[in-house]
Chains A and B, each alone.
Chain A
Amino acid sequence: MSTQKTKVRIGVDIGGTFTDISIMDARGGIITKKVASTVDNYARAIGEGLAAAFGENALGGADVAELLHGTTVASNAILELKGARTGLITTKGFRDVLELRLLRMPRLYDLLWEKPPALVERSLRLEVDERVDAKGKIVRPLDPAEVEAALDRLLAEKVEAISVCLLHAYVNDAHERMIRDIIRRRAPEMVLSISSEVLPEIKEYERTSTTVINSYVKPVVGRYLKSLTADLKGVGITAPLLLMQSNGGLTPAEVAAEMPVHIIESGPAAGVIGARALARRAGFDKVISFDMGGTTAKAALVENGEVTRAEEYSVGGGIMIGSRLMSGAGYVLKVPAIDLAEVGAGGGSIIAIDAGGAPQVGPLSAGAFPGPVCYDLGGTEPTVTDANVVLGYINPTELAGGAVKLHAEKSRAVLAEKIAAPLGLPVERAAHGAHLVAAANMIRAIKAVSSERGRDPREFALVAFGGNGPLFAAGMARALGIRRVIVPPSAGVFSAVGLLYSDVEYHLSRTYRQRTTALDLPGLVAAWQALEDQAREKLAADGFRPDQIHLRRFAKLHYKGQAYELSVPMPEGPVTEATSARLDQAFGDEHERTYGHRAGPGEPVELVSLNLAATGELDTLRDTGGGMAAATAAPGERQAYFGPEHGWLPTPILGRGHLVGRDRQGPVVIEEYDCTCVVPPGMTARLDPHGNITIDTGIAA
């Protein structure tokens, strides 16, 4: 997969409200374009947006080297229950694994709770009388006639897709393969997923749920990609289409169509990858990415050039409601995904006073409609954006180059009436308090990915983006003891830009449960070899040369009996007698780092699974041109409030170009087309060679 250097590369990120397009030209210049999403068919906005962008920039479809795409089409199909009518074939006695889930619910004291409906109705979950035990031995052989009967029933029920998940198929997949072959023979066109191919790992609920989701979204994703490919042809683009996966790597559209389970959380991943690329370029090896939009804020960690990944997550269960322990919402997917902590805090979060007299920010949100009171679209409750308007942080009359008109006086009036007066505070104090409480909520997301994993946030730089991220980032950084904040160019459409910095990735894994003191070394060597062969084969099929392929091996281990594994890099070099001790050592170190303690030397450590991350590096220009022109217009100025300590201060209102060749002491506000960046007093903003605003928060090293 190589790219002609004279061509442009395009990133397209679809959100619920906007579709963002970024185009990187042959010299590394980036053009961005924001168009309204077309919810009935998301592909349409892409075609239309590209046609417009091509027109404005004298480009044509033939100039495109490749199109990189992040999409929420698969997660929407699940959240809206609009996937395929799916049937399930499973082991006798285990028909209800999908419905029993893990029994727990994500909320206490809530008798109104409804379980998310199973993606396969009970009448479409059929059993076959077979059984494999935990060691892979066949205890009851499978009778093909029973499979035929189950298939007859599912075909009569007109299912569009079938999943097969048998007990212990991760250790012996013979029966699943038999069923697959029967279905292929009888119904060659049937969409089919078998658990030993989708997720060959122990734990039947997680494996069944993941396998079912793959079937459930596959027809939807397939139709979408077909429609998109046609629309792209319509604007003359025949270049390869690559999709962002939940794990932060790209995958060719054909592979995504076959295994859509990897692109479910495609949307939020690109921003984190963009932050990683930026960190590498700007010379930071540890950054926290912070993405805040209108309704939610998300944080993720990048360390030594690697994003932190979670091995499972729940679609529709991502927002933290108080505690990360309150699991049980949504649909479980056990595939590697960027570990994002998400809180329900955004510009639209509503400020209110609770029955005990304490001010609260969120969890209710005014959303995009009616939105903040200052939009004057019918909003009646004060929001975080209203507070930022009152504080003078957000332009009092317009946003997005005049596309959105604001009414600052309405923000002020509603905050005064509903918050400041009942609490007996001046309105700016109330607005500032609300700003800080919103920041505190988001700080919990940052702690969830850092200090709760034994990482000290003070050692990291904060990369802020999204429409609202740069408004809060500097203040939050100071509260966390973070010294440096980075606000990239096009911060408001950074997810689309992030796509341009991604590589093709495959994550392969297999369960391999052995005590480290009793490793079957030849078995281990063979298992790694099999995974590596599989990865090289996949990347070669995608057109990568051997020198473009990079493999990283990780082992997941735990103290025998623990529920959670920790991932450590597999010791370099061949697997030998010494491997066991080195694994023990690496695991103990990581355990101590993450949890603050390690067990005694006699404590048995168990290897749980082998994981391979395989990257195919796109042969492409990775650096932006930088070289921003200095702004010539005179800066504006308005009053902004920075808390009781500083009060109202006359604050220069700048464009990014005003920072060229000149550091600026806070307070300043930098207004751009797609976002606003606040630099409080005591901090310094400057521009780095790549066009990033870097803010020194004034905390001593």
Chain B
Amino acid sequence: MTTASFDPFEFELFRNSLLSVADEMALTVHRTTYSTVLRDNLDYSTAFFDGRGRMIAQGFSLPAHLGSMPTALAAVLARFEGAIRPGDVYALNDPFHGGMHLPDIFIFKPIFVDGELVAFAGTISHHTDVGGRVAGSNAPDSIEIYQEGVRIPPMRIYDAGHRNETFFELLLTNVRVPDMVAGDIRAQLAACHVAEVAFTDLCRSYGIAKVQRLTDAMLDHSERMARAEIAKLPDGTFTFEDFLDDDGIDVGKPIRLKVAVHKTGDRILFDWTGSSPQVRGALNATLSFTKSASYCGVLSVMEDRIPNNEGAFRAIEVVAPAGTIVNCVHPASVAARGLTGFRMVDTVFGALAQMVPGKVTAAGDGGNTNISIGGYDAERKPYIFCDFTCCAWGGRAFADGLDGNSHMFANMAGQSSEVIEAEQPLFVECYELLGDRGGAGQFRGGAPYRRAYRFLGEEAVISIRSDRRDIRPYGLYGGYPGGASMNVLTRAGGAPEVYPAKFYGQLRRGDLFVHETAAGGGWGDPLEREPARVLKDVWNDFVSAASARELYGVVLTADGRSVDLPATEALRGRIRTARGWQETPYALRETPKQAVEWPERQA
């Protein structure tokens, strides 16, 4: 650590102050926000930049937003550098000008001290609606960016303190829930204001020149931390590929995601070459999003918490060819690219599980399902129910996958069924975990959930983005894949019908929509699972007695209270022989066929 102009403790105290500013920004958004997406799902991030636009501290953030902030501010600077004045505020959401997808509106406020541009405060929030053809602006089946809503190129929305009324009027006229969008933008502005006040205080007490030296040191410090952690990982090249079922337009055509992780010394490179060309449906990711997924993977296997800033990212390189699903170009549709992000993380984990098997999971449910239901009430006022949700973790080298826990990439909260019913024309028939779905393994994949919504209004549109119907979450090192996701729609008075993983349609009074998430893949050979754990799963309805026999080779006694150990040994032997593995398969996407008969099936 440099001791040229400040001592290491002074540095640590400054860093502490700045992190607390970024955190205070995040709390401000949380407290003042209106929409459920922000308040419960925390689909927003805050960050702090130096005067040159380098990100020096990220407050609480969604991992999915890790790579996005520097890219967005760079787009603002490319357009406005040299013309930035005190009192200005900038915004953007266009994926082809620094954004990710249209609901994510970035807001940046330059901070001036004594006439000098010293910093930028930045926030990104997912807005409930930004217009376009489908309520919620999340439709997976748009085929060009123009269908997805209002595009905001980098714009000055406050000009030297004066609100740009033209911008606000144009934006709010084009969104379905203008009060909510306006309220959530206010929350973003409030967070920037908090940062401005606090950072100005810091500059006054340390002096601008010293603050600049300290922020440089923060970037260097994070870089050293990151490199030290990367150096601990084994060198080598680790490749893996995984798939999205399809884009909802070219139904049944799988989309390939491929990564090669090259690790040498204190550097790591994620090369996404070999991934599918960009698709017609709205699953296309910007490079900034692919960076987020790559960063998220590597941060997950580090032992120390690395402060998130551009210094840490200097040690991590990401390559993604333009025109592919991992680095799309205009006029690609992008609204539902969140799904692609989860799959990228699955792909990265599949590669990292070869590098550091003890540290990552088999595939989880493949998250996150988006359910949007929107319409107009009796007074023709629009409402939108929007939920992003996931549930099951893949098994791990040392423990079962979690049942009912969000995917870390977007650590979102579940919504209360009672609140949904109090606020929306919906009746929740069930919200429960499902047994016999988690991928069998020495460590079982997590259980998925089922949630059923009965529509009580007159008419609404429903838009569903889900996946892992055809290509199930992989199991690792002999673990079986998790169960597939499912959508069932029962029209009022009709019979249940299976719907595609991604669809858009109409709801009428009394219709019942049921979604089941996919389940986590297992880790390790299920025949190695401790019989006592299988027994406990049977008691708790996570595994049926039949699956205990067929998948785990565990036979219970007639009363179901204990394990019949000799019969279990014998059955496991028969399954091993029938399965005929020469070596344990690394990744399984299909359940191995069971050739074993079990004649003494109990009732």
**Best-buried of B34, B59, B225, B419 by chain A (most CB within 10 Å):** B34
Interface 9-residue window, one of A33-41, A60-68, A423-431, A517-525: A423-431
Query: A205 to B428, alpha carbons, bound, how many Å?
Result: 14
Least Cβ–Cβ distance between B169 and chain A, in angstroms = 15
**Best-buried of A96, A112, A328, A603 by chain B (most CB within 10 Å):** A96
Q: Is the CB of A102 within 8 A of B34?
A: no
Whether A595 contacts B28 in the complex (CB less than 8 A), given A103-B412, A559-B183, comes out as yes
Q: Is the CB of A111 within 8 A of B414?
A: no
Q: Residue on A with the closest CB to B403? A: A99
Interface 9-residue window, one of A73-81, A184-192, A355-363: A355-363
* A546 adjacent to chain B (CB < 8 Å): no
For residues 58 through 98 of chain A, which have their beta carbon under 8 Å from a beta carbon of chain B?
92-97
Q: Mark A620-653, 1 if CB is under 8 A from B, else 0.
A: 0000000000000000000000000000000000
Q: Is the CB of A424 within 8 A of B190?
A: no
Chain A contact patch, size range: 35 or more
**Complex contacts, B28 vs chain A, CB 8 Å:** 595-596
Query: A325 to B3, alpha carbons, bound, how many Å?
Result: 34
Whether A437 contacts B12 in the complex (CB less than 8 A), given A96-B404, A326-B60, comes out as yes
Q: Mark B418-432, 1 if CB is under 8 A from A, else 0.
A: 110110000111111
**Which single member of B12, B24, B432 contacts A360 (CB below 8 Å)?**
B12
Q: Is the CB of A444 within 8 A of B228?
A: no
For residues 533 through 562 of chain A, which have their beta carbon under 8 Å from a beta carbon of chain B?
559, 561-562
Q: Is the CB of B430 within 8 A of A94?
A: yes
* A415 adjacent to chain B (CB < 8 Å): no
Q: Residue on A with the closest CB to B360? A: A111
Q: Is the CB of A134 within 8 A of B32?
A: no
Q: Residue on A with the closest CB to B368? A: A103
Q: Is the CB of B296 within 8 A of A109?
A: yes
**Complex contacts, A139 vs chain B, CB 8 Å:** 427
**Complex contacts, B256 vs chain A, CB 8 Å:** none
Whether A437 contacts B9 in the complex (CB less than 8 A), given A105-B405, A561-B180, comes out as yes
Query: A441 to B19, alpha carbons, bound, how many Å?
Result: 11
* B237 adjacent to chain A (CB < 8 Å): no
Whether A325 contacts B42 in the complex (CB less than 8 A), given A108-B408, A111-B300, A203-B416, comes out as yes
Q: Residue on A with the closest CB to B426? A: A134
**Which single member of A100, A358, A513, A595 contacts B8 (CB below 8 Å)?**
A358
Q: Is the CB of B422 within 8 A of A94?
A: no
**Which single member of B1, B17, B302, B403 contacts A357 (CB below 8 Å)?**
B1
Q: Is the CB of B405 within 8 A of A355?
A: no
Q: Is the CB of B224 within 8 A of A356?
A: yes
* B280 adjacent to chain A (CB < 8 Å): no
Q: Is the CB of B431 within 8 A of A96?
A: yes
Query: A322 to B61, alpha carbons, bound, how many Å?
Result: 12
Least Cβ–Cβ distance between B509 and chain A, in angstroms = 15
Q: Is the CB of B23 within 8 A of A322?
A: yes
**Complex contacts, B32 vs chain A, CB 8 Å:** 595, 597
Least Cβ–Cβ distance between A209 and chain B, in angstroms = 12
* B124 adjacent to chain A (CB < 8 Å): no
* B347 adjacent to chain A (CB < 8 Å): no
For residues 169 through 198 of chain B, which have their beta carbon under 8 Å from a beta carbon of chain A?
179-180, 183, 186, 190, 193-194
**Which single member of A93, A113, A122, A595 contacts B402 (CB below 8 Å)?**
A113
Q: Mark B388-426, 1 if CB is under 8 A from A, else 0.
A: 011100001001001111101001111011110110000
Least Cβ–Cβ distance between B121 and chain A, in angstroms = 14
**Which single member of B299, B429, B430, B540 contacts A123 (CB below 8 Å)?**
B540
**Which single member of B16, B412, B431 contacts A104 (CB below 8 Å)?**
B412
**Complex contacts, B212 vs chain A, CB 8 Å:** none
**Best-buried of B3, B8, B361, B452 by chain A (most CB within 10 Å):** B8
Q: Is the CB of B16 within 8 A of A92?
A: no
**Complex contacts, B179 vs chain A, CB 8 Å:** 603
**Complex contacts, B539 vs chain A, CB 8 Å:** 123
**Which single member of A113, A452, A599 contacts B24 (CB below 8 Å)?**
A452
For residues 428 through 459 of chain B, which have their beta carbon under 8 Å from a beta carbon of chain A?
428-433, 449, 452
* A515 adjacent to chain B (CB < 8 Å): no
* A407 adjacent to chain B (CB < 8 Å): no
Interface residues of A (CB under 8 A from B): 92-97, 99-105, 108-115, 121-123, 133-134, 139, 167-168, 202-205, 322-326, 328, 354-360, 423-425, 429-430, 432-434, 436-437, 440-441, 444, 447, 451-452, 513, 559, 561-564, 594-597, 599, 603
Q: Which 5 A/B pairs are nearest by Cβ-Cβ distance?
A: A433-B9, A93-B430, A563-B39, A356-B225, A355-B228
Q: What 18 additional pairs, Cβ within 8 angstroms, besides A104-B411, A425-B9, A595-B32?
A: A96-B431, A96-B432, A100-B404, A104-B405, A105-B406, A108-B408, A121-B540, A123-B541, A139-B427, A205-B416, A356-B220, A357-B8, A425-B7, A430-B9, A440-B12, A452-B24, A563-B39, A564-B39
